[in-house]
Amino acid sequence: MQTRTLGRSNLQVSALGFGCMGLNSAYGPMPDRNEMIALVRAAVERGVTFFDTAEAYGPHTNEVLVGEALAPFRQQVVIATKFGFKFGPNGERIDGLDSRPAHIKEVAEASLKRLKVDVIDLFYQHRVDPAVPIEDVAGAVKELIQAGKVKHFGLSEAGAQTIRRAHVVQPVSALQSEYSLWFREPEAEIIPLLEELGIGFVPFSPLGRGFLTGKMDASTTFDKADFRRALPRFAPEALKVNQALVDLLAVIAARLKATPAQIALAWLLAQKPWIVPIPGTTKLHRLEENLGAVSLELTPDDLRDINAALAKVSVQGARYPEHLQKTVGR
Q: Is residue 116 part of a domain?
A: yes
Mean pLDDT value across residues 287-315? 90
pLDDT number for residue 182: 87
Q: Which of 38, 41, 76, 2 is nearest to 275 (CA)?
A: 2
How many residues are present in the chain? 330
Q: Is residue 165 part of a domain?
A: yes
Average pLDDT, the chain: 92
* pLDDT band per the 50, 70, 90 thresholds, residue 26: low
Helix residue ranges, H only, the chain:
33-45, 61-70, 101-115, 134-146, 160-169, 190-197, 236-255, 260-271, 284-291, 300-310, 322-325
Domain containing 250 equals 3-325
- pLDDT tens digits for range 45-83: 999 999 999 999 988 899 999 999 999 999 999 999 999
Please enumerate in sequence order all residues whose Cβ is within 8 A of that of 320, keeping only pairs 6 or more positions apart, or say none: 231, 232, 328
Q: Which of 86, 122, 126 is nearest to 103 (CA)?
A: 86
Contact present, 296 and 261 (Cβ < 8 Å) = no
Residue numbers annotated as active site: 57
CATH code of the domain covering residue 105? 3.20.20.100
- pLDDT tens digits for range 152-167: 999 999 999 999 999 9
Q: Which of 174, 181, 173, 177 is nearest to 266 (CA)?
A: 181
Alpha-carbon span 235 to 242, nearest angstrom:
10
Overall number of domains in the chain: 1
Contact present, 110 and 122 (Cβ < 8 Å) = no
Contact present, 161 and 191 (Cβ < 8 Å) = no
Q: Is residue 97 part of a domain?
A: yes
Q: Is residue 112 part of a domain?
A: yes
pLDDT number for residue 169: 98
Mean pLDDT value across residues 209-232? 82
Q: Is residue 269 part of a domain?
A: yes
Q: Is residue 330 part of a domain?
A: no
